Protein backbone atom coordinates (compact mmCIF):
# COMPACT_ATOMS: atom_id res chain seq x y z
CA UNK A 1 0.00 0.00 0.00
CA UNK A 2 1.02 3.56 -0.57
CA UNK A 3 2.26 5.73 2.23
CA UNK A 4 0.27 8.92 2.05
CA UNK A 5 -2.07 10.81 4.24
CA UNK A 6 -5.83 10.60 4.10
CA UNK A 7 -8.79 10.24 6.42
CA UNK A 8 -11.70 8.62 4.57
CA UNK A 9 -15.35 8.70 5.61
CA UNK A 10 -14.54 10.95 8.53
CA UNK A 11 -16.20 14.03 9.93
CA UNK A 12 -14.79 17.45 10.68
CA UNK A 13 -13.29 17.36 14.16
CA UNK A 14 -14.55 19.96 16.61
CA UNK A 15 -11.86 22.67 16.54
CA UNK A 16 -9.09 21.94 19.08
CA UNK A 17 -10.71 18.71 20.28
CA UNK A 18 -7.37 16.96 19.50
CA UNK A 19 -5.06 19.43 21.32
CA UNK A 20 -2.02 17.12 21.14
CA UNK A 21 -2.18 16.92 17.33
CA UNK A 22 0.84 18.21 15.40
CA UNK A 23 1.16 19.16 11.74
CA UNK A 24 4.65 18.42 10.42
CA UNK A 25 5.37 20.64 7.42
CA UNK A 26 8.11 20.90 4.82
CA UNK A 27 8.27 24.13 2.80
CA UNK A 28 4.86 25.11 4.18
CA UNK A 29 3.18 21.87 3.02
CA UNK A 30 1.68 19.43 5.54
CA UNK A 31 3.54 16.12 5.05
CA UNK A 32 2.76 14.11 8.18
CA UNK A 33 0.76 14.14 11.36
CA UNK A 34 2.27 13.70 14.80
CA UNK A 35 1.35 14.23 18.43
CA UNK A 36 2.87 15.91 21.46
CA UNK A 37 4.04 13.45 24.12
CA UNK A 38 6.18 15.84 26.20
CA UNK A 39 6.52 19.64 25.93
CA UNK A 40 9.64 19.28 23.76
CA UNK A 41 8.90 16.00 21.98
CA UNK A 42 6.55 15.05 19.14
CA UNK A 43 6.04 11.41 18.16
CA UNK A 44 5.41 10.46 14.52
CA UNK A 45 6.15 7.63 12.08
CA UNK A 46 9.75 6.77 11.14
CA UNK A 47 8.80 6.67 7.46
CA UNK A 48 8.15 10.42 7.70
CA UNK A 49 11.73 11.26 6.81
CA UNK A 50 11.99 14.57 8.65
CA UNK A 51 15.52 16.03 8.71
CA UNK A 52 16.80 17.83 11.80
CA UNK A 53 17.89 21.47 11.89
CA UNK A 54 16.40 22.16 8.48
CA UNK A 55 15.01 25.67 7.94
CA UNK A 56 12.31 24.22 5.66
CA UNK A 57 10.82 22.00 8.41
CA UNK A 58 8.31 23.24 10.96
CA UNK A 59 6.02 21.60 13.49
CA UNK A 60 2.72 23.35 14.17
CA UNK A 61 0.81 22.70 17.41
CA UNK A 62 -2.60 24.07 18.42
CA UNK A 63 -3.92 24.17 14.86
CA UNK A 64 -7.31 23.40 13.38
CA UNK A 65 -7.21 24.99 9.93
CA UNK A 66 -3.66 24.80 8.64
CA UNK A 67 -3.98 27.46 5.97
CA UNK A 68 -4.84 30.14 8.51
CA UNK A 69 -2.45 31.68 11.06
CA UNK A 70 -4.64 30.91 14.08
CA UNK A 71 -3.67 32.65 17.34
CA UNK A 72 -3.61 29.27 19.12
CA UNK A 73 -0.86 27.91 16.84
CA UNK A 74 2.65 27.37 18.21
CA UNK A 75 5.35 26.84 15.59
CA UNK A 76 8.68 25.10 16.20
CA UNK A 77 11.63 23.83 14.24
CA UNK A 78 13.15 20.37 14.76
CA UNK A 79 16.45 20.14 16.65
CA UNK A 80 16.66 16.32 16.63
CA UNK A 81 14.89 13.72 14.47
CA UNK A 82 15.39 10.22 15.86
CA UNK A 83 13.99 7.19 14.01
CA UNK A 84 13.85 3.92 15.93
CA UNK A 85 17.24 2.19 15.50
CA UNK A 86 15.50 -0.97 14.28
CA UNK A 87 13.15 0.76 11.84
CA UNK A 88 13.01 -1.35 8.66
CA UNK A 89 11.74 0.55 5.60
CA UNK A 90 11.01 -2.68 3.71
CA UNK A 91 8.81 -4.38 6.30
CA UNK A 92 7.89 -1.02 7.90
CA UNK A 93 8.58 -2.63 11.28
CA UNK A 94 9.35 -0.29 14.22
CA UNK A 95 7.83 2.66 12.33
CA UNK A 96 8.26 5.24 15.08
CA UNK A 97 10.20 8.52 15.24
CA UNK A 98 10.71 11.19 17.90
CA UNK A 99 11.17 14.85 16.99
CA UNK A 100 12.77 17.16 19.53
CA UNK A 101 11.41 20.68 19.19
CA UNK A 102 13.68 23.70 19.42
CA UNK A 103 11.66 24.96 22.40
CA UNK A 104 9.04 23.81 24.89
CA UNK A 105 5.38 23.92 23.95
CA UNK A 106 3.29 26.14 26.20
CA UNK A 107 0.54 23.83 27.42
CA UNK A 108 -2.97 25.32 27.48
CA UNK A 109 -6.51 24.34 26.47
CA UNK A 110 -5.50 24.09 22.80
CA UNK A 111 -2.03 22.56 23.17
CA UNK A 112 -1.78 19.48 25.40
CA UNK A 113 0.28 16.33 25.51
CA UNK A 114 -1.27 12.90 25.15
CA UNK A 115 -0.51 10.09 27.56
CA UNK A 116 1.16 6.88 26.44
CA UNK A 117 -0.36 3.48 27.25
CA UNK A 118 1.13 1.11 29.83
CA UNK A 119 4.00 -1.01 28.44
CA UNK A 120 2.88 -3.88 26.15
CA UNK A 121 -0.82 -2.98 26.54
CA UNK A 122 -2.79 -4.43 23.63
CA UNK A 123 -6.23 -3.46 22.36
CA UNK A 124 -8.75 -6.28 22.01
CA UNK A 125 -10.21 -6.92 18.54
CA UNK A 126 -13.46 -4.99 18.17
CA UNK A 127 -12.25 -2.03 20.25
CA UNK A 128 -13.43 1.18 18.60
CA UNK A 129 -10.73 3.86 18.48
CA UNK A 130 -10.45 7.26 16.81
CA UNK A 131 -7.91 8.57 14.34
CA UNK A 132 -7.48 12.10 13.05
CA UNK A 133 -5.54 13.93 10.40
CA UNK A 134 -5.34 16.70 7.83
CA UNK A 135 -4.68 14.41 4.88
CA UNK A 136 -6.81 14.01 1.75
CA UNK A 137 -10.47 13.11 2.36
CA UNK A 138 -11.12 11.01 -0.74
CA UNK A 139 -9.31 8.77 -3.16
CA UNK A 140 -9.08 11.82 -5.43
CA UNK A 141 -6.78 14.07 -3.45
CA UNK A 142 -9.18 16.63 -1.93
CA UNK A 143 -7.58 18.40 1.02
CA UNK A 144 -9.88 19.22 3.94
CA UNK A 145 -9.88 22.70 5.40
CA UNK A 146 -9.78 21.57 9.02
CA UNK A 147 -8.79 18.52 11.02
CA UNK A 148 -10.83 15.39 10.22
CA UNK A 149 -11.52 12.39 12.46
CA UNK A 150 -13.03 8.95 12.04
CA UNK A 151 -13.78 5.93 14.23
CA UNK A 152 -11.94 2.73 13.34
CA UNK A 153 -12.14 -0.77 14.83
CA UNK A 154 -9.25 -2.97 15.96
CA UNK A 155 -8.88 -6.12 13.83
CA UNK A 156 -7.37 -9.40 15.07
CA UNK A 157 -3.71 -9.70 13.99
CA UNK A 158 -4.19 -13.18 12.48
CA UNK A 159 -7.06 -11.92 10.30
CA UNK A 160 -4.99 -8.90 9.40
CA UNK A 161 -2.07 -11.11 8.32
CA UNK A 162 -4.42 -13.06 6.08
CA UNK A 163 -5.93 -9.92 4.54
CA UNK A 164 -2.57 -8.24 4.02
CA UNK A 165 -0.64 -11.41 3.11
CA UNK A 166 1.85 -11.40 5.96
CA UNK A 167 3.64 -8.13 6.73
CA UNK A 168 2.06 -7.70 10.17
CA UNK A 169 4.48 -7.91 13.10
CA UNK A 170 3.81 -7.94 16.83
CA UNK A 171 4.89 -4.28 16.80
CA UNK A 172 1.84 -3.39 14.73
CA UNK A 173 -1.84 -2.84 15.44
CA UNK A 174 -4.42 -3.39 12.79
CA UNK A 175 -7.71 -1.47 12.46
CA UNK A 176 -10.32 -0.84 9.79
CA UNK A 177 -13.98 -0.25 8.96
CA UNK A 178 -16.36 -2.52 10.81
CA UNK A 179 -18.93 -2.20 8.01
CA UNK A 180 -19.10 -1.62 4.29
CA UNK A 181 -18.88 2.18 4.32
CA UNK A 182 -15.47 3.36 3.29
CA UNK A 183 -13.88 4.54 6.51
CA UNK A 184 -10.43 4.73 7.92
CA UNK A 185 -7.17 6.14 6.80
CA UNK A 186 -5.53 6.17 3.46
CA UNK A 187 -2.08 5.22 4.62
CA UNK A 188 -3.54 7.35 7.14
CA UNK A 189 -2.34 10.81 7.71
CA UNK A 190 0.96 9.12 8.39
CA UNK A 191 2.36 9.68 11.86
CA UNK A 192 -0.97 10.62 13.43
CA UNK A 193 -2.39 9.08 16.62
CA UNK A 194 -4.78 6.16 17.07
CA UNK A 195 -6.55 7.06 20.32
CA UNK A 196 -8.57 5.03 22.81
CA UNK A 197 -9.76 6.52 26.14
CA UNK A 198 -7.40 9.53 26.13
CA UNK A 199 -4.25 7.49 25.44
CA UNK A 200 -2.40 6.96 22.17
CA UNK A 201 -2.11 3.29 21.22
CA UNK A 202 -1.05 3.54 17.60
CA UNK A 203 0.82 5.65 15.05
CA UNK A 204 -0.58 5.66 11.52
CA UNK A 205 1.90 3.58 9.53
CA UNK A 206 0.45 2.26 6.28
CA UNK A 207 -2.80 1.12 4.68
CA UNK A 208 -4.01 -1.45 2.22
CA UNK A 209 -4.52 -0.90 -1.48
CA UNK A 210 -7.76 1.07 -1.28
CA UNK A 211 -8.41 3.86 1.15
CA UNK A 212 -10.78 2.90 3.95
CA UNK A 213 -11.67 -0.49 2.42
CA UNK A 214 -12.45 -3.06 5.11
CA UNK A 215 -10.73 -5.82 3.14
CA UNK A 216 -7.51 -3.83 3.50
CA UNK A 217 -7.22 -2.74 7.13
CA UNK A 218 -4.85 0.03 8.15
CA UNK A 219 -1.65 -0.66 10.05
CA UNK A 220 -0.55 1.31 13.10
CA UNK A 221 2.70 1.12 15.03
CA UNK A 222 1.92 -0.33 18.46
CA UNK A 223 3.06 2.44 20.80
CA UNK A 224 2.95 0.35 23.99
CA UNK A 225 5.89 -1.74 22.74
CA UNK A 226 8.09 1.37 22.77
CA UNK A 227 7.20 3.08 26.03
CA UNK A 228 10.63 2.15 27.42
CA UNK A 229 12.42 3.53 24.37
Element (H, E) at 208: none
| CA max distance for the chain | 47
Using DSSP bridges, classify how beta strands 193-196 and 184-186 pair: parallel, antiparallel or unpaired.
Answer: unpaired
Single out the catalytic residue among 169, 190, 205, 224.
Answer: 190
* Interior/surface letters 82-108, b for 16+ CB within 10 angstroms, e for the rest: ebbeebeeeebbbbbbbbebeeebeee
Task: Please state, in angstroms and rounded to a whole number, the distance separating the CA atoms of residues 162 and 168.
Answer: 9
Nearest CA to 5 out of 190, 184, 212 is that of 190
- DSSP code of residue 123: P
Secondary structure E strands in 73-170: 74-76, 78-83, 97-101, 128-133, 148-154
* Catalytic residue of the set 5, 64, 84, 95: 95
> What are the residues facing 25 on neighbouring strands?
30, 58
Q: Which of 83, 1, 90, 79 is nearest to 46 (CA)?
A: 83
Among residues 30, 47, 84, 216, which one is catalytic? 47
C-alpha of 168 from chain center: 18
30 is catalytic: no
- Catalytic site includes residue 47: yes
- Mark whether 95 is an active-site residue: yes
Q: What is the set of active-site residues? A: 47, 95, 190
Amino acid sequence: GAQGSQIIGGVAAAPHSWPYMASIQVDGQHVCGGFLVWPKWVMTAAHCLIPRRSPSVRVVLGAHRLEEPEPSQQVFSVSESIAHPRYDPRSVDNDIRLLRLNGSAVLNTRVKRIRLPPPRADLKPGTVCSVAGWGDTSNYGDLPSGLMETPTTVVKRSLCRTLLRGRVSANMLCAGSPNTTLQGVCAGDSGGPLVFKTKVYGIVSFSGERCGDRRHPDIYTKVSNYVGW
